[in-house]
Structure 1
Amino acid sequence: MKKVNTESYKVTGPITLATLDTSEDLRASEKKLKSELEEIRQELSKLQDVLYAHGKYAVLICLQGMDTAGKDSLIREVFKDVNARGVVVHSFKVPTELELKHDYLWRHYIALPAKGKFGVFNRTHYENVLVTRVHPEYILGENIPGIHEVADIDAHFWEKRFEQINNFERHIAENGTIIFKFFLHLSKEEQRQRLLRRLELKQKNWKFSPGDLKERKLWDAYQDCYEDAINKTSGPKAPWYVIPADVKAGARLIVASIILEELKKYKDIKEPELDEEIKANLEAYKSQLEKEKA
């Protein structure tokens, strides 16, 4: 099996999505890929236990991608062995009436993971520079001062929003949140095949929406917006990773490998030392419990 070179997916300079692969041959069967993922999952589970005991870092995992890119199944398969109380998943849909009464980052702030936990954003704060950029009329629902019509939403508006997002991520990173941002890079042909499967398989019909086909027609616009967003918001404290997503098993293994490898670099994440008084009396506590059995 080909070793996963996690650094090769990290965005460290300008990228052009059209030149990046949507599929990577890891030279392993699907069974082998699943087996490798299982081993990594178990390590992630143990690491999260230590992260919780340490209590100084939170981990935020952001997943973005076109419809059918595999976000839901990736979350299920990568985090299934992590303690249920140690990982919290948020799926961000169309903003509610309450959410629209706040600034666009509010609902993301209040969903951030507590220290010691993994938080997964299934679609993220980047929807505010992706969907809204393809459909700028959605911005009008935010009731922003000075924005009265679509014509008021100019290039400066988007540059300011990128700046705000970078500041948001810088702020949470400086306060103990380790950030991973993954773009599941899917080919247009693979999306077509997955949409067809949703129509052909009765048990998957519920996943299909006619809106999927409307958004598919805007494929190129979305790719341009993703590329711009990634290039303007990938940095050392909040890097983007572009993950080939045409093969789901491979994408899951790559994402899990990156998370594990990066978290292992934090040498200060370790179980706290016992209080000296407790440590000195461990044998006494043990003896007390053993006597109860007698």
Structure 2
Amino acid sequence: MEVDQYKVTSTISLNKSVTKVEIEDAEKKLRKVRKKLGKLQDTLYAHGKYAVLVCIQGMDTAGKDSLIREVFKDFNARGVVVHSFKVPTHLELKHDYLWRHYIALPARGKFGVFNRTHYENVLVTRVHPGYVMGENIPGINSIDDINDTFWDKRFEQINNFEKHIAENGTLIFKFFLNLSKEEQKNRLLRRLNKQEKNWKFSTSDLDERKLWDNYQTCYEDAINRTSKPHAPWYAIPADDKSSARYIIAKIMYDTLSTYTDIKEPELDDEVKANIEMYKEELSKE
């Protein structure tokens, strides 16, 4: 599998893109690559000069939660922080829409995973522009003010945000879990048919499903406007969960492995010269 196979480097049409890929022994391959990722993360932590931001977007039931659980299973807990962004709180609405994402960015040496991301502000809010009114933005006095110019500015702000953090040492991965409408129906039915999964179902899932085409249009536009060399989008076929998880883990590992400067720091010369003495001192206790 080539890393760039799923990278969006030219205009993408979601209605023509693949939503299902079945990779042989995907679960076994995932176990191997996530162990390598875990070791690489330890080195990244010791190196302390890069942070890694992993952005995961997708329609309801695309498998975001389980993907995070399985891909990052072998990470040291101190090296990865997951943020699941819900409806903005009262405090968050008192700030600009990127504020809550800025303060959740990973520190150097760590992975930060955004389960739903700053892109909700050009996806959900674009499908439901009334939500923008809750942000109390100067000059936005009615839904009529939320026009093409408004969205152009918001995309520019998001691109600037990502460029800024990339230039300051954050390596960015953006994954769109490309789920088919048919597979979403099957997963929603499973939530209803399995009692232990009932808690995951919400009537709002059906309301949002009716807006499927609107969301696909917004996702396509967002991906095409914001897939940049320093912050690329990857369109991941998501109908087969095991394969999607492996593909994402493989993309991250292969890409991060190209950063040959990510190494464990050298010991201080004095410490290095006296290692045997320190061993002997401890052994005599």
Q: Which residue of 1 aligns with 2:11?
A: 14
SS of equivalent to 2:188 = helix
Aligned to 1:277: 270
In structure 2, distance between residues paired with 1:52 and 1:236: 24
Counterparts of 1:237-248 in structure 2 under 5 Å?
Answer: 237-248=230-241
Query: Residue 266 of structure 1 aligns to which amino acid in structure 2?
Result: Y
Q: 2:39 aligns with which of 46, 58, 78?
A: 46
Residue deviations 1:51-73, cap 9 Å, x none?
00000000000000000000000
Q: Structure 1 residue 291: deviation in Å?
A: 1.1
Amino acid corresponding to residue 16 of structure 1 in structure 2 = S
1:66-115 Cα distance to aligned partner (Å, 9 max, x none): 00000000000000110011110000000000000000000000000011
1:166-199 Cα deviation digits (max 9, x unpaired): 0000000000000000000000000000000000
Name which of 36, 48, 52 aligns with 1:59: 52
Q: Which amino acid aligns with 2:19?
A: T
- Residue identity opposite 1:21 in structure 2: V
Give the C-alpha shift of residue 25 in structure 1. Answer: 2.8
Please give the root-mean-square deviation of Cα atoms over the aligned residues, in Å.
0.5
Structure 2: how far apart are the matches of 1:133 and 1:281? 62
Where does residue 200 of structure 1 map in the other structure? 193
Structure 1: 5+ residue runs without aligned partners?
none
Normalization by structure 2: what TM-score?
A: 0.99
Gaps of 5+ in 2: none
Equivalent residue number for residue 117 of structure 1: 110
**Offset at residue 24 of structure 1 (A):** 1.1
Q: Note the C-alpha offset of 1:34.
A: 1.0
Q: Determine the C-alpha separation between the residues in 2 that align with 1:76 and 1:24.
A: 20
Q: TM-score, normalised by structure 1?
A: 0.96
Does 2:96 correspond to 1:103? yes
- Counterpart-to-counterpart distance in 2, 1:94 and 1:246: 26
CA distance in 2, matches of 1:279, 1:90: 39
Q: Distance in 2 between matches of 1:265 and 1:226?
A: 29
Work out the CA distance in 1 between the residues paired with 2:54 and 2:276.
42
The equivalent of 1:94 in structure 2 is 87
SS in 2 for 1:51: helix
Q: For 1:152 and 1:102, how far apart are their aligned partners in 2?
A: 20
Q: Whole-Å Cα distance in 1 between the matches of residues 165 and 249 of structure 2?
A: 22
Q: How do residues 60-209 of structure 1 correspond to structure 2 at under 5 angstroms?
A: 60-209=53-202
SS at match of 2:217: helix
Out of 269, 288, 293, the residue aligned to residue 281 of structure 2 is 288
In 1, Cα distance between equivalents of 2:22 and 2:190: 23
Provide the C-alpha distance between the structure 1 equivalents of 2:166 and 2:7, rounded to a whole number of angstroms.
18
Which of 205, 230, 233 is the aligned partner of 2:226?
233
Query: C-alpha separation between the residues in 2 aligned to 1:6 and 1:133?
Result: 31
1:24 aligns with 2:30: no
Give distance in 2, aligned partners of 1:152 and 1:217.
25
Query: How many pairs were matched up?
Result: 285
Report the 3-state secondary structure (helix = DSSP H, G, I; strand = E; otherwise coil) of the residue aligned with 2:41. Answer: helix
Distance (Å, rounded) in 1 between the aligned partners of 2:208 and 2:33? 35
The one-character-per-residue Cα deviations of 1:251-286 (angstroms, maximum 9, x if unpaired) are 000000000000001000000010001001111101
TM-superposed CA distance for 1:5, in Å, is 2.2
Per-residue deviation, 1:230: 0.2
Which stretches of structure 1, 4 residues or longer, exceed 3 Å deviation after superposition? none
SS of structure 2 residue aligned to 1:82: coil
Letter in 1 for 2:101: H
Partner Cα separation in structure 2 for residue 280 and residue 85 of structure 1: 30
2:254 to 253, 261, 267: 261
Aligned position for 1:212: 205
SS, match of residue 102 in structure 1: coil
> Which residue is 1:35 aligned to?
28
What CA distance in whole angstroms lies between the structure 2 residues aligned with 1:182 and 1:6? Answer: 13
Tell me the distance in 2 between the aligned counterparts of 1:261 and 1:152: 44
